[in-house]
Amino acid sequence: MAAEPVKRITDIGPPNFEKFLHPVIKKNYGLWKYHDNLAPGVLCHVAESGDKIFTVRAASPRLLSTTTIRQFADLAEKYCGGYLRFTSRNNVEFLLDNQANIEPLKKELLALGFPVGGTNNAISNIVHTQGWVHCHSSATDASGIVKSVMDALCDRFTHEDLPAKLRIALACCLNMCGAVHCSDIAILGVHRKPPKIKHDILPKVCEVPTLIASCPTGAIRPATVDGKQSVEVVEEQCMFCANCYTVCPAMPLNDPENDGISIWVGGKVSNARSAPKFSKLAIPFIPNEPPRWPGVVDAVVNIVEVYAKNAKKFERMGEWIERIGWPKFFELTGIPFTKYHIDDFRLAGTTYARSTHIRF
Amino acid sequence: MADEKVQTKLLDELEKGPWPSFVKEIKKARKVSPVCDDLLGQLELSYEEKVGHWKHGGIVGVMGYGGGVIGRYSDLPEKFPNVAHFHTMRINQPSGWFYTSNALRTLCDIWDRHGSGLTNMHGSTGDIVFLGTKTDELEPCFKELTEAGFDLGGSGSCMRTPSACVGKARCEWACYDTMKMCNDITHQYQDELHRPPFPYKFKFKFSGCPNDCVASIARADLSVIGTWKDDIQQNDAEVAAYAAKGLDVQDDVCGRCPTKCMKWDGKKLTINNRECVRCMHCINAMPKALAPGKERGATLLIGAKAPIVQGALLSSVLVPFVPADELMDTIKELISRVWDFWDEYGKNRERVGELIQRVGMGNFLDAIGLDPVPEMITAPRDNPYIYFKDEA
Ligand code: HEM
Ligand code: HEM
Ligand code: SF4
Ligand code: SF4
Ligand code: SF4
Ligand code: SF4
């Protein structure tokens, strides 16, 4: 070919954020003095110079059509010179220098169906994953449960009346794409049956040694099935983690009747007051109930309401539970305590009660 | 009518209620691309059968890159031919997720031309996620993206797309410039991001203060969390104003301080700053009255991960304090030593935190040339099984 090869652009990295900053933010970068919470979903940051930037935070379903993104762009142009950002929890934030624009913007957002809130002691948006919309690994859906749970908790997003922040996260399998293991309430998809080995395709699509090495409990052993090289799973040793499926497509765990959801509570990320901590098991299993997941919705709402009624000001879920003790948590929430709540994986003993400190 | 093409009786239930609906979003995108009809059809079937219908991903991507695209295929390609291929592209977000409306429109235009018109704003690691396209569209879409100044993010055993809190752009508590650090590190390690060189994934997350708004301590192999060394900045008049407005300074501020290092006599707040652990509680409670000190920097922590493979870990302290102006050089120097060690000794699919657990923190520190300090632990060991070494 005679034509000059066109130079292919690669390795340019993300665009520099500076060109996307509101002029007030650019001018006062690193020079902020304090902030005020004007209303749920509305923040005002004040700079040393006296300049102010107002933030209006609205919910989004994370899965957004380009049509909706363009609507956000329209609103940003109409009210804030085109400047907006998204948060680590899938909210959209409009950045305004004119306080008078706050109310009209809020009105338009509400009319389009995007509630304003999620700041301070409100429940923010749910961090979540792909589920049946896009992932092969899911033990449950993601977006549908998030939608159902947040429909029930929408008032807690638009009001800041909880004792402290409350963060909910959802992951549709144990891979946990998202920080669900450190959330006040975590909703986690779980399998309950071992992989159903597809012996016919296994030798073609998987490397047997890699597959065997992938199992954290050593449950997978080489085996010959119908004269062909394959594997078998020692079922008593399987804890349904799906590591094997991640490395080998011939090991699916999906099972409509046995897959479902577990609920975990009391984790936190922030260092405020107490150290960050993992979420702990509250409910080992709730079946998948599409399209509205009533079992999960009721369970989450119950935990939120019991927490809201009993925790002291500034106490996160986990801090409240540590104060009252786990027996009281199970009593107040009415959640049954089972043998599944007692750890039996590696180093299990670290969560056993090793003192006589018992509340009666 | 296009709208009647697929029946979505179950999914329609998810259009009801006050929270924004992802089903409405997929229906909106039908105007952009007919693939959305098949996506709805397949999803409706998943709702009926309570099981997903995606196959294990295949390896697809753009030329010269080893990541950034997640291959996805339907397991019912005859029934839903438009989602037979439905790959996602991860696009590296600008630091702090700031955009102008023009930048968003550019991204939308590109995606309407090459994909489903569906996105995630954003994926849980931080990337913009373009949700659903065919193999043939990857290269042309990538070309338009790079011409518009955007590049792909990471996937596979690479440095994953780093992310940062808003930091100095809009938060008075930022103890270093998180967004610039995130941007600079991302640019510094483009090769490690695009061409997976490691035993497994490696994540950086940058939070400006111990509130850790990007959850770095839970999710990042290297967590960089802002903090300060000197005294909390205090404005007594504003403290008094909070008290006058009804804040219970004794119970809600002093009483919740983890080290009980604050005293309130009804008029004056006294902080014993040498006992403060920089938890942020009092500052969060009185943002106008208190602020982090002026000698600012960050704590470096290492090793967080979700449960897969050997169990979840939180990051633990590696360097207690690095002054803000030395942060970039320190991170670059340290990370090259960490990556070398992990490269050599890490097993396939072993995150750095799991490697440290396997070889022991002591050996890891030796290998990267750091001295042990008591800030790294909550308590010294309580078992006597010590691997003594011959000391020269
Ligand atoms: C100037 C003040 C602050 C700013 C600008 C700020 C900014 C943010 C933003 C934008 C998010 C994502 C929020 C969302 O989408 O809902 C976030 C999340 C978060 N913030 Fe803040 N925040 C501030 C104060 C605080 C305070 C006072 C705390 C703790 C007491 C805190 C702890 C957190 C935590 C734990 C998250 C969630 C991280 C996660 O789990 O993903 N932040 N922050
Ligand atoms: C060993 C553990 C993990 C495996 C095997 C895994 C696997 C996957 C797979 C297969 C997908 C594709 C979903 C799709 O089809 O779109 C995915 C998406 C994703 N994963 Fe993971 N994942 C793991 C852990 C994590 C963790 C711990 C995080 C973040 C903290 C994470 C962040 C993401 C993100 C950001 C996406 C893109 C879509 C989204 O945000 O939902 N992954 N992961
Ligand atoms: S959590 Fe599991 S099922 Fe959900 S997106 Fe991640 S890998 Fe897929
Ligand atoms: S699901 Fe987990 S425990 Fe069970 S065989 Fe597979 S890798 Fe092993
Ligand atoms: S982590 Fe700290 S500095 Fe960063 S946005 Fe959150 S509160 Fe502000
Ligand atoms: S930052 Fe935390 S530890 Fe330090 S004085 Fe305030 S409440 Fe106490």
CA distance B128 to chain A (A): 10
The answer to whether B338 touches B352, Cβ cutoff 8 Å, is yes
**Cα–Cα distance measured from residue B256 to residue B249, given in angstroms and rounded to the nearest whole number:** 10
What is each CA distance from B72 to A120, B85, B131, B133, in whole angstroms?
38, 6, 10, 9
Q: Which residues of B touch A176 (CB under 8 A)?
A: 306-308, 312
pLDDT under 50 in chain A at which residues?
A: 1
Q: Nearest CA to A303 among A177, A168, A154, A171?
A: A168
Output the CA B152–ligand 1 centroid distance in Å. Answer: 27
- pLDDT, residue B140, reads 97
Ranking A11-15, A138-142, B30-34, B174-178 by mean pLDDT, the lowest is B30-34
Contact B47 A278 (CB under 8 A): no
ipTM: 0.94
The pTM (predicted TM-score) of the whole model is: 0.91
Confidence of residue B202 (pLDDT cuts 50, 70, 90): very high
Nearest CB to A35: which of B25, B163, B172?
A: B172
Task: Return the ligand 3 atom nearest residue A246 CA.
Answer: 7
Residue B299, helix vs strand vs coil: strand
Residue pLDDT, tens place only, B313-352: 899 999 999 999 999 999 999 999 999 999 999 999 999 9
CA distance A270 to chain B (A): 4
Q: Tell me whether strands A52-58 and A228-233 are parallel, antiparallel or unpaired.
A: unpaired
| Radius of gyration (C-alpha) of chain B in whole angstroms | 25
Contact B21 A273 (CB under 8 A): no
What is each CA distance from A333 to A156, A284, A299, B337, in whole angstroms?
19, 15, 9, 49
DSSP 8-class letter at A334: T
Residue B212 CB–ligand 5 contact under 6 Å: yes
Mutate to test the interface with B, among A66, A257, A312, A315 (most CBs of B within 10 A): A66
Residue pLDDT, tens place only, B365-380: 999 999 999 999 988 9
174-233 in B: which are within 8 Å (CB) of A? Answer: 174, 177, 179, 183, 186-187, 190-191, 193-194, 210-215, 217-219, 225
**Cα–Cα distance measured from residue A66 to residue A70, given in angstroms and rounded to the nearest whole number:** 6
**Tokens linked to B59:** 């390896």
DSSP 8-class letter at A17: G
Residue of minimum CA distance from atom 6 in ligand 5: B213
Residue ranges of the alpha helices (H) in chain B? 9-12, 22-29, 35-49, 101-114, 135-147, 178-188, 190-194, 216-219, 236-244, 281-285, 327-345, 352-359, 361-368
pLDDT surpasses 70 at B4: no
- pLDDT, residue B309, reads 75
What is each CA distance from A281 to A310, A342, B140, in whole angstroms?
20, 9, 46
- pLDDT, residue B3, reads 47
- pLDDT, residue B1, reads 37
- pLDDT, residue A347, reads 62
β-partners of residue A234 are: none
- pLDDT, residue B306, reads 84
**Cα–Cα distance measured from residue B358 to residue B354, given in angstroms and rounded to the nearest whole number:** 6
- pLDDT, residue B341, reads 97
- pLDDT, residue B2, reads 43
Confidence of residue B386 (pLDDT cuts 50, 70, 90): confident
**How open is the CA angle B66-B70-B74, to the nearest 5 degrees?**
140
Residue pLDDT, tens place only, A184-238: 999 999 999 999 999 999 999 999 999 999 999 999 999 999 888 899 999 999 9
Residue pLDDT, tens place only, B49-107: 999 999 987 789 999 999 999 999 999 999 999 999 999 999 999 999 999 999 999 99
- A297-324 burial code (b ≥16 CB/10 A, e <16): bebbebbbebbeebbeebbbbbbbbeee
**Cα–Cα distance measured from residue B188 to residue B181, given in angstroms and rounded to the nearest whole number:** 10
